[in-house]
Amino acid sequence: MPSPRTSALAAAAAPGFVLERSEAVPALIGRHEDFLFISGLGGVARDVGAVTGDGAHVYSLGGAMGAACMMGLGLALARPDKRVLVVTGDGELLMNIGALATIAVTNPPNLAILCVDNGHYGETGWQKSHTSLGVDLEKMAIGAGIRRTRTVATEADIADGARLLREGNATSFVNLRVKPTEPAEFKRNFDLALCRDRFRAALQR
């Protein structure tokens, strides 16, 4: 009998992509108020919206694919007093994978990157991404020089991954492997200028 929490697959999962994003993403984030969020576009923006209520401490992309990690770097350098969590997907990360090298060289300790890797481009019809075909994003992060990295692929890995995102004296990177299932049902705000204003206003309070 499948668990009632098991969601329907939107595409065939590659071996090792077994976790439920609806459980693993909130578990890795934990208390969301502890972070400023930059979210990539597509499914992760909906996941982050569902966890945070799309609050003023969140800036989610709806385009400009490939921007998330570098926005996180600019924000982390601007606000060393805050912890910045970039939540992105495998497709968005791959589009500007060189950003990992730029971030590793700068290495702000208050920046963490969580990649929700489902091995697919869910927004465009569930085509396989490179990570279903052998590309290992944690190894790419290690190769870029990021010192603190993990792959979270089973429930047993989650506590350690969550700790890595919250602690430490160097930028951290967690690749979360999940099944290719629909992301959270959440309608986040797509007005990018309004979201900029609310983010800045909340930080200045």
Binding mask 61-80 for other proteins (x = CB under 8 A): x-xxxxxxxxxxxxxxxxx-
Q: Residue 103: count other Cβ atoms within 10 Å of its Cβ.
A: 24
183 binds other proteins, rule: CB under 8 A: no
Among 8, 133, 156, 193, binds other proteins (CB under 8 A): 193
Quote the least distance from Cβ 196 to other proteins, whole Å: 4
- The piece of 60-68, 149-157, 164-172, 174-182 that touches other proteins (CB under 8 A) is 60-68
204 binds other proteins, rule: CB under 8 A: yes
Quote the least distance from Cβ 33 to other proteins, whole Å: 17
> How many H helices and E strands in the chain?
8, 8
CA 25 – CA 47 distance, rounded (Å): 7
CA 111 – CA 84 distance, rounded (Å): 5
Quote the least distance from Cβ 17 to other proteins, whole Å: 28
Tell me whether residue 75 or residue 87 sits nearer to other proteins (CB atom).
75
37 binds other proteins, rule: CB under 8 A: no
- Listing DSSP states for 61-130 in one string gives -SSSTT-HHHHHHHHHHH-TTS-EEEEEEHHHHHHTTTHHHHHHHH--TTEEEEEEE-SEEGGGT-EE-G
In which element (H, E) is residue 151 found? strand 148-152
- The piece of 27-35, 131-139, 150-158, 194-202 that touches other proteins (CB under 8 A) is 194-202
Residues that bind other proteins (CB under 8 A): 36, 38, 59, 61, 63-79, 82, 96, 98-99, 101-102, 105-106, 192-193, 195-196, 199-200, 203-204
